[in-house]
Amino acid sequence: MIVRTLKEIIGTEREVSPENGNWVSRRFLLRSDGMGFSFHETIIYAGTETYMWYKNHLEAVYCVGGEGELEDLETGKRYKIADGTIYALNGHEKHYMRAKADMRLICAFNPPLTGREVHDAEGVYPLIEE
Ligand code: 9YT
């Protein structure tokens, strides 16, 4: 059994931010934990805009705090994301997240992330195979 606290993750290798500092991801479970998915808490800071395209991954994101606007670039649709809303990128959709207040998001990735991934110039996380 694995039991971890946020306190144990902050300030370690499992806490990851992009160079622009727009978000921080605390990676509670990674591929090395053997669950078949990775599980993170992400804070996206108010006033930021992040372009993402999980070309190699499926991601589900459950918002438990803050508020932002999600734009699906495949359809042009915009969604308000706030406490109690989940979105799932089941079609590898390119998207923007614009945070209006610091957003606290619980995220699961399949396949699981291995650790230090941040978005590349295309908004993509690389697929790291063993
Ligand atoms: C909502 C989102 O995807 N933000 C980027 C960070 C990502 N959730 C991660 O690596 O934990």
For 81, other C-beta atoms within 10 Å of its C-beta total 24
Please give the share of the chain, as a percent, with pLDDT higher than 90: 85
> Which atom of ligand 1 is found nearest the CA of 59?
3
Phi and psi at residue 124, in whole multiples of 5°? Answer: -105, 150
pLDDT bucket at 126, cuts 50 / 70 / 90: confident
Q: Can you give the pTM of this predicted structure?
A: 0.93
With the most atoms of ligand 1 within 8 angstroms of its CB, the residue from 9, 22, 23, 94 to mutate is 23
Condensed to tens digits (0 to 9), the pLDDT of residues 57-93 reads 999 999 999 999 999 999 999 999 999 999 999 999 9
* Contact between residue 41 and residue 28 where contact means Cβ atoms under 8 Å apart: yes
Report the pocket of ligand 1 as residue ranges, CB < 6 Å. 23, 25, 40, 42, 44, 52, 59, 61, 97, 105, 107
CA distances from 78 to 31, 69, 99 (A): 32, 7, 13
Atom of ligand 1 nearest to the CA of 44: 4
Within the chain, residue ranges assigned H as helices are 6-9
Residue 46: its pLDDT value, please? 98
Q: Is 128 helix (H, G, I), strand (E, B) or coil?
A: coil
CA of 2 to the centre of ligand 1 (A): 22
d(CA 76, CA 95): 9
List the domains of the chain with CATH numbers. 6-110 (2.60.120.10)
Cα(12) to ligand 1 centroid in Å equals 17
CA atoms of 47 and 109, how far apart (whole Å): 25
pLDDT value, residue 59: 97
